[in-house]
Chains A and B, each alone.
Chain A
Amino acid sequence: METSLGKPNATAIFFFFVFIVMTLGITGWAARKTKTTSEFFAAGSKVTGLQNGLALAGDFMSAASFLGIAGLVASSGFDGLIYSVGWLVGWPVVTFLVAEPLRNLGKYTFADVVAYRLRQTPVRIASAIGGLTVVAFYLIAQMVGAGSLVNLLFGLPYEGAVVAVGVVMLAYVLFGGMIATTWVQIVKAVLLLGGATVLAIMVLAKFSMSPLRLFDAAAAKYTVSVLAPGKLVSSPVEAISLGLALMFGTAGLPHILMRFYTVPDARTARTSVLYATGFIGLFYLITFVLGFGAAVLVGRDTIKAVDKGGNMAAPLLAEVVGGTGFLGFISAVAFATILAVVAGLTLSGAAALSHDLWVNVVRKGKTDEREQMLVARVATVVLAVVAIVLGIAFKGQNVAFMVGLAFAIAASANFPALLLSITWKRFTTNGAVASMVTGTVTAILLIALSPTVQVDLLKHQEALIPLKNPGIVTIALSFIVGIVVSLAKPEPEAQSKFAEVARRMHLGPTH
């Protein structure tokens, strides 16, 4: 098949510029409404349930999940569904365990909740380390993805693409803060869901609108094994471990948790996750159809010839069923997706740097609005520069494992401390710090020694640790360390303030 992928595509460039002009317009409007830190970090807590649901879904429907899962399904069929399902089931857990307590107890970051009744300085430093590590790995994966994607889609040089993403994203966050970031995320979520749905309908139209006929056609073309589990899940331990990290990682991602502060109350927080779960589940079902569509209509060989990782399955499919114009549209949407996700990540990193480290650790909570805003903006610029530098430094590296690493750290470093701080009276400052540090360090260490890095990346014969997904070990360790250290030395002040936490968690800040 002849593809125009990789050649400058007039439609792609047109849609891309429309998106940039529109989102910069939104940023200009948002900038006029962004005067306080509450507006900068939490959009003044005025976002509605549906809006936040779309924004949450937008944060989660990254280019990696759109292009990556469609590619995985195209190349290995059923196995792609295992990832989709794992990524979705974290959301009900977020709804049940953390959404409402976060909204009622915190202000801008998840550290607000962990540190509520504990000593501020040590807890804020430890949670900033956990949070920033997650953000850093996630950012590297997104920036490297952005560079390669733009290179593949439009034929632009890698470095130019990374700088362009960094600069546009900086404009959103620096001037428009959370208001702009939320709206960019909403626009992108609608475009991505809409584009993917139209593409799926065009594919299914060729199979009398029946997904089963499509799957059957795939089975006829590549044998029925495409509908059965393949090599992805090799052992039960590995499977449970991956599942735990995907499930609890969502409840520990700083840029996701931060979104619960953008809504006015606990009720809106829970409604917004219901919307998000609906959109994300639907999106994964559609992506599954797209993957099979690409396998049948484009063909595995063609997909692999364009990109070894299979990431171009969805854009190629768009070209086959909708022509160059539709390819351009889908490419522009994929790029917009990266921009929006990177903006959300940067904002949550800036919140950790300025709100947790500067305001609460360096200044002990004694700062005025002016200084807080200044520090927040300086932190944003610093992070944007770091993101661009890291994006260029990791050029050509296989960074797919870094999203998994980010989830493993989020599940092991942030989630246990967050959960223990709102449920267990005897949790202490030392316990929280020990738990978060253990989670961060062990997750990084076990992945560095795992077959993913040692064998796949460094080409060593074997790895010290046989486990690819460390979650089962690191999440358990983080809970155990947090509990043991807390029991070893009780903290009476923290215990006495637990009643207040328990009340406010349910009643909200005004009661």
Chain B
Amino acid sequence: MHAMDADRERKLAALAAQRWRVALALTGVMLFTYFGFILLVAWNKEGLGALVTPGLSWGILLGALVIVVAWAVTGIYVRWANRVYDPALAELKKED
């Protein structure tokens, strides 16, 4: 392992903390969306059975939207990590 000076150790710790913040925030969004959907299913069966247009109930629409949210949060994270986190990390590695 290379010795790192205190300044870079601090920068790395800050970057790591930032990654955890982003990861936890997006995990929160996913949990909130999914459990929101599940609780609606448990508590408001009638509301979810109501039709938006013929053939499409609110339940199906929201269920499909949860899948879209799962795609979106994963996409946002990967984009952030590739564009912000990775270059910052590479910068820290280069100073080694």
- The interface of chain A, by Cβ under 8 A from chain B, is 78, 81-82, 84-86, 88-89, 91-93, 95-97, 210-217, 219, 224-225, 227-229, 233-236, 238-240, 242-243, 247, 267, 270-271, 273-274, 277-278, 281, 284-285, 423, 500, 502-503, 505-507, 511
Contacts and interface: CB of A to CB of B under 8 A. Distances in A.
Contacts of A81: 59-60, 63-64
A511 B2 contact: yes
Contacts of A219: 54-55
A247 to B, nearest CB: 7
A228 B37 contact: no
Contacts of A505: 16
Chain B residues touching A, range: 35 or more
A507 B93 contact: yes
Given A85-B63, A92-B74, A212 B35 contact: no
Nearest to B93: A511
Given A78-B57, A91-B74, A502 B67 contact: no
A228 B49 contact: yes
B12 A507 contact: yes
With most chain B CB atoms within 10 A of its CB, the pick from A85, A97, A423 is A85
Given A236-B39, A267-B86, A89 B70 contact: yes
B59 A284 contact: no
A210 B51 CA distance: 16
A78 B77 contact: no
13 contacts: A78-B48, A81-B60, A85-B67, A92-B30, A93-B27, A96-B77, A97-B23, A229-B49, A233-B42, A239-B39, A273-B74, A277-B71, A507-B93
B20 to A, nearest CB: 8
A209 B46 CA distance: 28
B77 A215 contact: no
A270 B48 contact: no
A92 B27 contact: yes
Interface of B: 1-2, 12-13, 15-16, 19-20, 23-24, 26-27, 30-31, 33-35, 37-39, 41-43, 45-46, 48-49, 51, 53-57, 59-60, 63-64, 66-67, 70-71, 73-75, 77-78, 81-82, 86, 89, 92-93, 96
B23 to A, nearest CB: 4
Nearest to B4: A503
Given A267-B86, A502-B16, A285 B30 contact: no
Contact of B55 (A82, A92, A215, A274): A215
A103 B37 CA distance: 32
A95 B23 CA distance: 9
With most chain A CB atoms within 10 A of its CB, the pick from B12, B74, B75 is B74
B66 A89 contact: yes
B26 A212 contact: no
Contacts of A284: 67
A423 B24 CA distance: 12
Given A228-B48, A234-B42, 12 more contacts: A86-B34, A91-B70, A92-B27, A92-B73, A210-B55, A227-B59, A233-B38, A236-B43, A242-B38, A271-B82, A423-B20, A503-B12
A85 B49 contact: no
